[in-house]
């Protein structure tokens, strides 16, 4: 089974949360075929924005959204 992962980021209201402040300006980094490559992309973006406490990048497990009845990894 293909396990797609999506990396995105943007400004958040609270650095501890995931409420993005401006959805029109989200950084949609890309879709990756496995967690390792998604993590590499996430890490590069997160490290590039380390000085901005309001910027947050995340990895979304698309395969879990597309087929929610499948067992977790």
State the pLDDT at residue 32.
97
Non-local (6+) Cβ contacts of 63 within 8 A are 1, 2, 3, 4, 5, 70
Residues 17-69: tens digit of each pLDDT: 999 999 999 999 999 999 999 999 999 999 999 999 999 999 999 988 888 77
Global pTM value: 0.85
Domain boundaries, the chain: 5-66
- CATH code for residues 5-66: 3.30.70.2400
Residue 11 has pLDDT above 70, yes or no: yes
Rounded to 5°, angle at Cα 39 from 7 and 1: 80
């Amino acid at each position: 089974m293909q396990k797609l992962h999506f990396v995105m980021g943007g400004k958040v209201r609270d650095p501890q949360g995931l409420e993005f402040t401006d959805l029109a300006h989200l950084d949609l980094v890309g879709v990756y075929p496995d967690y390792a490559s998604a993590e590499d992309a996430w890490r590069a973006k997160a490290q590039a924005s380390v000085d901005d406490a309001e910027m947050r990048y995340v990895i979304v497990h698309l395969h879990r959204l597309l087929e929610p009845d499948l067992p977790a990894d």
